[in-house]
Amino acid sequence: MKTAFRDIRDELRRRIIANEWPPGGLIPNEVDLCAEFNCARATVNRAMRELAEEGLIERRRKAGTRVRDVPRKQATFEVPVVRKEIEARGSRYQFTLLSREAMPAPAWLCARLEIPDNSPVLHLTCLHCADGHPYQFEDRWINLKALPQAKQADFSNVGPNEWLLATVPYTDAQISFGALNSDPDLAHHLGCKAGDALFVAERMTSFQDEPITYVRMIHQRGHQMTMRY
């Protein structure tokens, strides 16, 4: 495989990390680098574009390209799907629907999803287990105005998470991480003690400005979410 642009990108990155081109300083322009690497400008352009996306350099027309003073490092992670998470650990996945109720949305949910007061929603709670041990408690709310078919859906075999993924796409999502003291009910389901600190991920998705669902995923005690970058 041709790898010119990769080689150039890596060499430029090396020079930056090795401080041959100090932070804040200008680096040679595309035409000069073409000459040095003996290649077309498009090739240098692609190498530099990737470094810019990485956050290592900053490019501006006419002003040239400079090394960022503090690299804008960004981490990326795949949005977790609990069944895959569990199966990736080599454990058996199991899912239990704990409760299901159609109801008018409580005020806090209306505020969060920006839907009118008392909009009809479906409230589900479920437990995801790994090898029989509780792994995650899912507290899900589905906007029935956007997704009336959820009312008829059977969530006893396929969890709402996967049902939603298969049923509706989403165009916008927001995810938050935080911590929560377990209440006695949660403790009972997850098999921990009331008061234990639990890691919580919240997710809200919408499709073209129509809110779809809000979910709180409360993890077993000690759970960590890790990513490299």
Partner DNA sequence: TGATGTTTATCGTCTATACAAAATATCTGC
Partner DNA sequence: GCAGATATTTTGTATAGACGATAAACATCA
Cβ contacts of 20 within 8 Å, gap of 6 or more: none
| Integer Cα distance of 43 and 3 in angstroms | 10
CA angle, 109 as apex, 216 and 77 as ends, to 5°? 35
Site mask for DNA (CB under 7 A), range 153-192, x = bound = ----------------------------------------
Q: For residues 61 and 116, which CB has a smaller minimum distance to DNA in the complex?
A: 61
Beta strands in 159-223 (DSSP E): 172-181, 197-207, 210-219
* By the rule CB under 7 A, 21 interacts with DNA: no
Choice from 4, 110, 144, 187 touching DNA (CB under 7 A): 4
Task: Give the one entry of DNA, a copy of itself, none that residue 41 binds, where binding means its C-beta sits below a cut-off of 5 to 8 angstroms depending on kind.
Answer: DNA
Task: Give the one entry of DNA, a copy of itself, none that residue 31 binds, where binding means its C-beta sits below a cut-off of 5 to 8 angstroms depending on kind.
Answer: DNA
Nearest to 206 by CA among 97, 115, 85, 125: 115
**Amino acid type, 144:** L
Please state, as a whole number, how many other Cβ atoms lie within 10 Å of the Cβ of residue 103: 12
| Integer Cα distance of 74 and 52 in angstroms | 12
Q: Which residue ranges make up the site for a copy of itself (CB under 8 A)?
A: 17, 70-79, 81, 165-166, 169, 171-181, 195-200, 202, 222-229
Supply the DSSP symbol for 188. H
Q: For residues 45 and 91, which CB has a smaller minimum distance to DNA in the complex?
A: 45
Q: How far is the CB of 92 from a copy of itself (least distance, A)?
A: 21
Q: Which residues inside 33-72 make contact with DNA, applying CB under 7 A?
A: 38-43, 45-46, 48-49, 52, 59-65
* By the rule CB under 7 A, 109 interacts with DNA: no
Cβ contacts of 25 within 8 Å, gap of 6 or more: 66, 67
Q: Which window, 30-38, 126-134, 146-154, 216-224, contacts DNA (CB under 7 A)?
A: 30-38
Pure H helices in 18-55: 30-37, 41-54
Site residues, DNA (CB under 7 A): 1-6, 29-31, 38-43, 45-46, 48-49, 52, 59-65
